[in-house]
């Protein structure tokens, strides 16, 4: 008898979670630890779409799993991101989207080249950057 009810309970829990995701969740229904992490969002929480709420809750849950060192690294990356201009952020987003659209083989090749560049000395990196900029400049001259 109990084993036959197990699929029913599972289905009900999935349906409940689906309905909750479609309707959103009230701030006061969030567990206390998530409210603590998501505190800055409290005033606008009810105006967020259910999908956005879900993404934020997922992120808060992942945050809980990070070590203090990992949290510090994430915070530093966020500060770096916020210091960039909107144009720089848009360029980064576009490059990321182009990367996501590449086939896996091309992604691996690009990641390998990037890793080789990071392993160069600062002087070698600077020489590579100058050569790249010179090549870009020549291409721009030809395009005019």
> What pLDDT is stored for residue 22 in this prediction?
62
> What pLDDT is stored for residue 1 in this prediction?
47
> What pLDDT is stored for residue 121 in this prediction?
96
Residue 6, pLDDT > 90, answer no
Give CA–CA dist 22/11, Å, rounded: 16
> What pLDDT is stored for residue 120 in this prediction?
94
Q: Could you tell me the pLDDT band of residue 4, with boundaries at 50, 70 and 90? A: low
**Strands in the chain per DSSP E:** none
Q: Could you tell me the pLDDT band of residue 73, with boundaries at 50, 70 and 90? A: very high
CA angle 46, 49, 53 (to 5 degrees): 75
Mind listing the pLDDT tens digit for each residue in 15-70? 445 545 567 899 999 999 999 999 999 999 999 999 999 999 999 999 999 999 99
Tell me the mean pLDDT in the region 62-91: 94
Contact between 117 and 128 under an 8 Å Cβ cutoff? The reply is yes
117 Cβ contact partners less than 8 Å away, ≥ 6 residues apart: 125, 128
> What pLDDT is stored for residue 124 in this prediction?
96
99 Cβ contact partners less than 8 Å away, ≥ 6 residues apart: 107, 110
Give CA–CA dist 47/27, Å, rounded: 11
Q: Could you tell me the pLDDT band of residue 3, with boundaries at 50, 70 and 90? A: very low
**What is the pTM assigned to this prediction?**
0.57
> What pLDDT is stored for residue 139 in this prediction?
82
56 Cβ contact partners less than 8 Å away, ≥ 6 residues apart: 38, 41, 48
Mind listing the pLDDT tens digit for each residue in 87-127? 999 999 999 999 999 999 999 999 999 999 999 999 999 99
């Amino acid at each position: 008898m109990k084993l036959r009810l197990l699929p029913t309970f599972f289905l009900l829990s999935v349906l409940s979670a689906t309905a909750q995701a479609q309707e959103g969740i009230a701030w006061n229904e969030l567990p206390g630890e998530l409210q603590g992490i998501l505190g800055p969002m409290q005033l606008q929480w009810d105006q967020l779409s259910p999908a956005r709420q879900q993404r934020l809750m997922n992120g808060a849950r992942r945050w809980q799993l990070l070590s203090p060192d990992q949290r510090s690294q994430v915070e530093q990356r966020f500060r770096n991101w916020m210091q960039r201009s909107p144009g720089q952020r848009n360029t980064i987003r576009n490059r990321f989207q182009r990367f996501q659209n590449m086939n896996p083989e091309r992604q691996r090749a690009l990641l390998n080249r990037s890793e080789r560049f990071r392993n160069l000395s600062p002087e070698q990196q600077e020489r590579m950057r100058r050569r790249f900029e010179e090549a870009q400049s020549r291409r721009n001259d030809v395009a005019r």
